[in-house]
């Protein structure tokens, strides 16, 4: 029988033994649940005595968007310290002298961290039953949303891991990860809207390449988690560019998340190697071994 990866086993043991884990889970459910119940309460207050089924869709959208933002908050927090934390505890060097490959270390860290996020998401499933109670939602939408969460979580977690491998300090790594996640969720959306506005204000003939601008806007909105989620929920069509990227939006988003995530994980594993390869690897090599020498 295949043995579970030792780093994964250790991480799961450590993570699920902590009292903090249970508190975090409770806090997560309390926040999401409170959000949904508050939404229902406010709707009920505004129109007492009856419940409109189309409100289910609103709750579903609210719940899903809230969950996305909580994921954007939790996933980086869990992963941005996985390597830098080992470095700060001075356990990384010992780990690197074992026979485990750096890829195996990075991958196990990712799985262990995201396992908890998956637990968080599964724990929220009963909240979705509130939505189904009143109808108005296609059954296929929930798996679609959860698939979206998994992909997004993979990307956010990979960002956290590469930052924790690159930066020596967990504080810097965490801040940078949150910055990048914010750029990915909010920044690209704003950029897409801004570029659309640029294209609208300027006449097409004054632009260097209007086709390219539309392509960029389309790419940005098909890789922006908020735009994609709203599209899955059929709540928003997004910006109309008239450009096709060749594949359905969900396929483009899947390729983007998996491709970029795997690339970041591969880079993380390279950062852990003593062999410097290129400027960024050299920088990380110096950092990952403290100030280089000590005695």
Partner 1 sequence: MIKLKGVTKQFGTTRALDNFSLEVREGLVYGLIGPNGAGKTTAMNILATLLLPDAGTALVNGRDVVQDPQVVRGLIGYMPDFFGVYDGLRSAEYLEFFAAAYGVPAAKRSRLIKDLLELVNLPDKGEVYVDALSRGMKQRLSLARCLVHDPRVLILDEPASGLDPRARAELKEIIRQLKHMGKTILISSHILPELAEMCDEVAIIEHGRLVTCGPVDQITRSAKGARQLKVSVAEPVPDLAGFLNQQPGVSSPWVEGLIVQFFYQGDQSQQARLLQTLVSNGWPVIEFSEVRRNLEEVFMAITGEEGLPNGGN
Interface positions with partner 1 (CB under 8 A): 3, 6-7, 9-10, 13-14, 17-18, 86, 89-100, 274-276, 286, 289, 291-295
Neighbours of 206 (CB within 10 A): 8
CB of 256 to partner 1, least distance (A): 34
- State the minimum distance, in angstroms, from the CB of residue 282 to partner 1: 11
Q: Smallest distance, Å, CB 87 to partner 1?
A: 9
Measured from the CB atom, the residue of 108 and 252 that comes closer to partner 1 is 108
Q: Is 92 in contact with 258 (CB distance < 8 Å)?
A: no
- Nearest-5° angle of CA 27, CA 28, CA 31? 80
**Minimum distance, C-beta of residue 285 to partner 1, in the bound complex (Å):** 8
Question: Measuring CA to CA, how many Å separate 109 from each of 13, 84, 113, 119, 249?
Answer: 12, 12, 6, 16, 30
Of the two residues 54 and 275, which places its CB atom closer to partner 1 in the complex? 275
| Nearest distance, CB of residue 100 and partner 1, angstroms | 5
Burial of 227 (0-12, 13-18, 19+ CB in 10 A): buried
DSSP string, 216-247: HHHHHHHS-HHHHHHHHTTS----------SS
Considering beta carbons, is residue 33 or 276 the nearer one to partner 1?
276
Residue placing its CB nearer to partner 1 in the complex, 107 or 128: 107
16 or 182: whose CB is closer to partner 1? Answer: 16
Instruction: Specify the residue, 182 or 286, whose C-beta has the smaller distance to partner 1.
Output: 286
Cα separation, 73 vs 174, whole angstroms: 11
For 99, other C-beta atoms within 10 Å of its C-beta total 5
How far, in Å, CA of 45 to CA of 40, rounded? 9
Spatial distance between the Cα atoms of 291 and 285, rounded to a whole number of angstroms: 10
């Amino acid at each position: 029988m295949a043995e579970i990866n030792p780093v994964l086993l250790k991480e799961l043991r450590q993570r699920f033994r902590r009292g903090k884990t249970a508190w975090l889970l409770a806090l997560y459910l309390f926040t999401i649940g409170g959000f949904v119940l508050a939404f229902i309460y406010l709707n009920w207050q505004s129109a007492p005595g009856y419940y409109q089924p189309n409100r289910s869709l609103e709750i579903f959208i609210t719940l899903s968007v809230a969950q996305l933002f909580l994921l954007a908050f939790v996933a980086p927090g869990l992963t941005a310290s996985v390597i830098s934390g080992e470095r700060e505890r001075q356990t990384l060097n010992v780990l690197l002298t074992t026979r485990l490959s750096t890829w195996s270390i990075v991958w196990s860290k990712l799985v262990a961290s995201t396992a908890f996020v998956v637990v968080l998401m599964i724990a929220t499933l009963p909240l979705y039953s509130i939505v189904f109670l009143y109808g108005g939602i296609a059954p296929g939408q929930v798996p679609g949303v959860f698939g979206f969460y998994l992909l997004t979580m993979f990307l956010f977690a990979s960002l956290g891991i590469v930052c924790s491998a690159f930066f020596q300090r967990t504080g810097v790594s965490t801040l940078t990860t949150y910055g990048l996640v914010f750029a990915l969720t909010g920044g690209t959306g704003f950029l897409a809207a801004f570029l659309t506005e640029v294209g609208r204000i300027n006449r097409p003939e004054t632009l260097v390449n209007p086709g390219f601008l539309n392509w960029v806007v389309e790419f940005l909105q098909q890789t922006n988690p908020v735009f994609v989620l709203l599209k899955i929920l059929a709540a928003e069509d997004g910006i109309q560019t008239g450009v096709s990227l060749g594949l359905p939006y969900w396929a483009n988003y899947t390729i983007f998340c998996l491709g970029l995530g795997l690339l970041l994980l591969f880079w993380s594993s390279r950062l852990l190697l003593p062999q410097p390869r290129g400027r960024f690897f050299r920088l990380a090599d110096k950092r990952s071994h403290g100030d280089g020498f000590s005695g």
